[in-house]
Structure 1
Amino acid sequence: MASRARRPLPKTAGTSSPAPAPAPAAKPPLSARLMRAAWRGLPAGRYEAGWEPGLEVPAADGSPLITDHYFPRAEGDFPTLLVRSPYGRGLPWSPMYGVLFAEQGFHVVLQSCRGTGGSGGAFDLWRNEPADARAAVDWLRERPWFDGRLGTIGPSYLGYTQWALALDPPPELKAMVVQVGLHDPHTLFHTDGVLHLENALAVGAGMTYQHRGMLSFLGATLRLRRRLREVTTARPLRGAHERVLGDEAPWLDEVMAHPDPEDPYWHGASLAGAAERLTVPTALITGWHDVLAGQTLEQYGRLRRAGCETALLVGPWTHTSALQQGWPEVFAESLAWLRAHLHEDRSGLRPTRVRVHIGGENSRRDLDDWPRDPAATPWFPTPQGHLTPRPPTDSLPTASFRYDPADPTPSLGGPLLSPAAGPRDNSALEARDDVLTFTGPPLTEPVDILGPVSALLSLSTDTGHAHVFTRLCDVDARGRSVNVCDGLGRVTTTGETPSRVTVLMSSAAHRFAVGHRIRWQISGGAHPRFARSPGTGATPVDAAVLTPVHITLHPDSALTLPHAPANG
């Protein structure tokens, strides 16, 4: 990207007399102070927080971007954190970022993206963020309290706005903290051409209503839950979301109708290139059941290849629980990184680059890097429903089942944007006739996996078109089957000849304990998490006709697990 002219940098800390505290020094909103008081396990504040609400910052096109400024009520030079959000500037962002970080010695600039939260202009899912982020930094350079030290922080789309600035990072940018963060909108909405239906609707509700306040957002969320089945079983799916969201999210219909990542519609949406050349120290945080876990691990890999200083934390969280139950650890990790690179205090950093929580034993493991490049071990299904490391010797089909899109296999847990996300007991799901399970023997010693999980499936169908959903589960001594990770792919077959498809099931860090069993679960979908296959080859968004499919699994199929030494 061509460089742009920049104003001279403002003073750095210590080059002149300390900046006075901004005025007026109003207290933060009561709702933010009450939420702040309710949190436990967070470090004590070092300063009292002040608040300048409703500032107008010009966007790249001149539209006013409404901005709140939080700051330590004390004289002195403090670094600045830029937080750009399409979800409003109230709860939970005002206490989580405005109040908490101001108390720790940071100016916090919390800005509503174009077309949201009272800001002017029209919201676009991605096209305005790079230019508007640069405009925000231009405005910061004119503030008397800005001392030239800039960081960014935030989750989800607030991570996307950070990567937007990192496309052409200003010289003031010294640190980034991307929490459960997005860099590729297409991958958020589609896998192998299949729509992430339930999550797409949840994103639509959040983008449309959350910036209007928590009551408006909660009302939309409740309407969506009540009418979820109606919307997700509509034929065709296109436009059905308007029954809940109205016509205020026209971009959602466009997103749903463009499953191909090479479609010109998605040109410029992915900001993956920012990480490939970044030199700004960047901390990454995600959870094993986060809808953006895969994107976070991709970001980490690109930053490492670029030689950028980076750190990775992966917890036992979903997209939302990372900012709820996981918030004390997420906040501590974020604060330590920002202090290290903006306050030059590295005392809070952990000694290793990577920290992961290990599922199945409720522990944490510090690693030098990720992935660990463990040995990949295939496990094979048998016609008797077993799962074994021994390759098959029989050429006959292993198993078959009938998938009926009129009664689609339901989704259960996993990476969702709802309270139903995360690990769940799969026993009832696995009792269905349209779900295959293959289970290993009780383990006599622990089995640890650390890295990417995948499945190679050899399948034939009677209609030529199907989806395949594959899941790894941990079965305890009582028979409770809990999901570890999963994935979905499309299958196209010709006649009776099997097709081979590899399904990436995300990464995992998990210990299968002694007495537990490893289970491989296979079905024809997971609805409404994924739009159902109509069985005809028509796109799920436009299909009006549904045809049941017989799916046959052949013996050259395998579940591949990244085994790791038990001692890490």
Structure 2
Amino acid sequence: MLNNKTQAEYKTRHQKNIEITMRDGTILRHNMTRPDIDGKFPVLLERSPYNKEGGSENGVGSPEFFAARGYVVIIQDVRGRFASDGDFYPFKDDGNGPNKDGYDTVEWLAKQDWSTGKIGTIGGSYSGATQYRNAISNPPNVKAMFVRESSADYSEEWVYRGGAFELGFNLGWAHRVTLSNLNHLVTDEKHEETEKMLIDIENNLDDWHKKTPLFPTQYFNGLSDWYNDWLENPPPSDYWKEFDMSDHFGNIDIPIYHLGGWFDVFLNGTLKFYQGVSKNGKSDKTKQNQRLIVGPWVHGPTNINNRFAGEFDFGPDAALDFNELRLPWFDFWLKGKNNGIDETKKINFFVMGKNEWKQADEWPLKNTTYTKYYFNKKLNGEIKSLYSGTLSDKKEIENSQLSFTNNLNNPVPSLGGNTLSIPNGVFEHSSVDKQCITFSTNPLENELEVTGPVSAEIYVNSDQENADWIVRLCDIDQSGYSRLVCDGIFRSHATSGEIQKIKIDMWATSNMFLKGHRLRISVTSSCFPRFDRALNNGSEKSENNILCGGSNASYITLPIINN
């Protein structure tokens, strides 16, 4: 059912700028595409900040596609964006706070004479966030959701990660959101001047990545003050409590299909939401009717029908028709079609390396052995990195230490990975690996499948108070091509020289390391501009150490699948 092809049943018609009044009197506006005949139809709703005339769902033709198959499709501008009134503050009015814009919209749609009263929701990224936020308010007429690539906790899967600010993504995103919202933010007299300022900044965004301190970012003052609120409140600030939905999974009573990508910036949010509702949903029906699909994709709806992630080709099976994928889900829940989707395996996931789809009913998988691979000082020499050590399932007996210098003015660059606004996905990574301390296995004698959550526990110290620690796993083929699999970051705070044991969440992956390939771990202290840099009272350099072997053995834990 991953790549079915269906035929249109209806001609369609369109209506623009339909108004709905929220509970506080604010008017939101939407466009409607529907079958060109009278009658009642189920409704699909996207609530987006990206303009109801464009945006992600219009970008993949979903209004026309679903309307031609018997749905009314609504694309709404969220509060304070484009044609809708009010003030835009990300995520704030879409959940279970004083304003419940998603809830109010759904209940209005359910009462219209062209509606069957059965509402489904669509969209991804921010319009995935409006779905997840709406889910915790439990509007009674939402019968199903299909959420593409979104977050469960904005402090860990949108704005920060491991305590570091997601600079590359968020500065670019906030800038685009601000530039496209000037009609709401400034007077006509100020519009041209402000627009020119923002375009000049856009043309020099690389320079703005380098500016320190980040807070306050002056050009957002009075325009998008929420961006500086984010910077002023690094986690675990109480500011983020209303934007963390982890405590609300038990309120949710809606079947949800969750879609993620192994290289998506919100991958962990997708997995967390699927697991949370599957375990804690309000009813057994809801727990049993969560579905998950994860492909080798970067962020965005058009990338689901794309075999490439970054520069790497994952083969023809990687590309899926996004609309056809969603249609059976809504046909079952909104139209009552007995198409068997309720009896399918709960999880579809793409195994990179093998480049094939697999299915399961539990995440993490049942047949998983969590195996420690130790960072050993024994020289491997397979790459000319800062130091090329050995990665092994056996740890060295002797304690040892490997040292490197982190230079804030010459940081190790980011190259692809789970990000947005800057290049994402897979690129040949050797140029970056060479700037790191590395640990590699010998060529594998047999295939090794790694599917599930990945983490690293490492012993470290620094001569500075603040330090970032990035651990990256790559798949090295016989030609030496270094393909990123997953990575993670943790920002530590300690007195100079203090040894810390830290745990780095590297999120999750599914990858078959083929016979003859190597596993390579890279360790470094910057990944710029994807993440901001750990500053230390004007100090340009820090001397950082990773400890190996004996009582301070650092390691990565890999979910090995026993096929």
Please state which band the TM-score falls in when normalised by the shorter chain.
0.7 to 0.9
Q: What TM-score does the superposition give when structure 2 sets the normalisation length? A: 0.85
Q: 1:321 to 1:139 in 2, by over 3 A?
A: closer
- Give the SS at the match of 2:91: coil
Q: Which residue is equivalent to 1:365?
A: 358
- Give the SS at the match of 1:198: helix
Asked if 2 retains the 8 angstrom alpha-carbon contact of 1:117 and 1:212, the reply is no
Q: Which residue is equivalent to 1:228?
A: 205
Q: Which residue is equivalent to 1:25?
A: none
- What CA deviation, in whole Å up to 9, does each residue of 1:283-341 have, x standing for no partner? 00010011111001000111111242110000110112665535743322221111111
Q: Distance in 2 between matches of 1:97 and 1:54?
A: 18
Q: 1:431-450 residue pairs with structure 2 within 5 A? A: 431-432=434-435, 435-450=436-451
- What CA deviation, in whole Å up to 9, does each residue of 1:158-213 have, x standing for no partner? 11211232223232211111111233222210123211111111321343245789
* TM superposition shift of 1:240: 3.9
**Residue 292 of structure 2: which of 312, 315, 321 is its match?**
312
Q: How many residue pairs align between the two structures?
A: 510
Q: 1:417-496 residue pairs with structure 2 within 5 A? A: 417-418=420-421, 420-432=423-435, 435-496=436-497
Q: Which residue is equivalent to 2:169?
A: 199
Q: Which residue is equivalent to 2:333?
A: 341
**Residue 351 of structure 1: which of 344, 354, 357 is its match?**
344
Q: Distance in 2 between matches of 1:419 and 1:41?
A: 33
Q: 1:527 to 1:222 in 2, by over 3 A?
A: farther
- What CA deviation, in whole Å up to 9, does each residue of 1:322-375 have, x standing for no partner? 655357433222211111111112426372100001111211111122111511
Q: Which residue is equivalent to 1:165?
A: 134
Which range moves more in the overlay, 293-302 or 153-162? 153-162
**Residue 415 of structure 1: which of 415, 418, 423 is its match?**
418
Which range moves more in the overlay, 334-343 or 494-503? 494-503
- Give the AA of the match of 1:81: L
Which range moves more in the overlay, 365-374 or 519-528? 365-374
Q: Which residue is equivalent to 1:121?
A: 86
- Give the SS at the match of 2:489: strand
Asked if 2 retains the 8 angstrom alpha-carbon contact of 1:67 and 1:109, the reply is yes
* TM superposition shift of 1:279: 2.2
Asked if 2 retains the 8 angstrom alpha-carbon contact of 1:458 and 1:553, the reply is yes
Q: 1:48 to 1:423 in 2, by over 3 A?
A: same
Asked if 1 retains the 8 angstrom alpha-carbon contact of 2:217 and 2:228, the reply is no
Q: 1:147 to 1:488 in 2, by over 3 A?
A: same
- Give the AA of the match of 1:290: D
1:381 aligns with 2:375: yes
Q: Which residue is equivalent to 1:237?
A: 214
Q: 1:231-270 residue pairs with structure 2 within 5 A? A: 231-240=208-217, 242=219, 248-263=223-238, 265-270=239-244
Q: Which residue is equivalent to 1:151?
A: 120
Q: 1:495 to 1:421 in 2, by over 3 A?
A: closer
* TM superposition shift of 1:94: 3.0
Asked if 1 retains the 8 angstrom alpha-carbon contact of 2:40 and 2:113, the reply is no
Q: Distance in 1 between matches of 2:268 and 2:365?
A: 16
Asked if 2 retains the 8 angstrom alpha-carbon contact of 1:320 and 1:417, the reply is no
**Residue 55 of structure 1: which of 18, 21, 44 is its match?**
18
* TM superposition shift of 1:280: 1.3
- Give the SS at the match of 1:299: helix
Q: Distance in 1 between matches of 2:4 and 2:86?
A: 40
- What CA deviation, in whole Å up to 9, does each residue of 1:107-142 have, x standing for no partner? 112111111012111111122113111221332244
Q: Which residue is equivalent to 1:302?
A: 276
* TM superposition shift of 1:105: 1.1
Q: Which residue is equivalent to 1:548?
A: 541
Which range moves more in the overlay, 332-341 or 224-233? 224-233
Percentage identity across paired residues of the two chains = 27
Q: 1:518 to 1:88 in 2, by over 3 A?
A: same
* TM superposition shift of 1:88: 0.9
- What CA deviation, in whole Å up to 9, does each residue of 1:514-543 have, x standing for no partner? 110000010001011110112x2x6xxxxx
Asked if 1 retains the 8 angstrom alpha-carbon contact of 2:4 and 2:325, the reply is no
Asked if 1 retains the 8 angstrom alpha-carbon contact of 2:304 and 2:322, the reply is no
Q: 1:84 to 1:300 in 2, by over 3 A?
A: same
Q: Structure 2: which 5+ runs fail to align?
A: 184-191, 307-318, 380-388
Which range moves more in the overlay, 524-533 or 218-227? 218-227
Asked if 2 retains the 8 angstrom alpha-carbon contact of 1:166 and 1:278, the reply is yes
Q: 1:209 to 1:182 in 2, by over 3 A?
A: farther
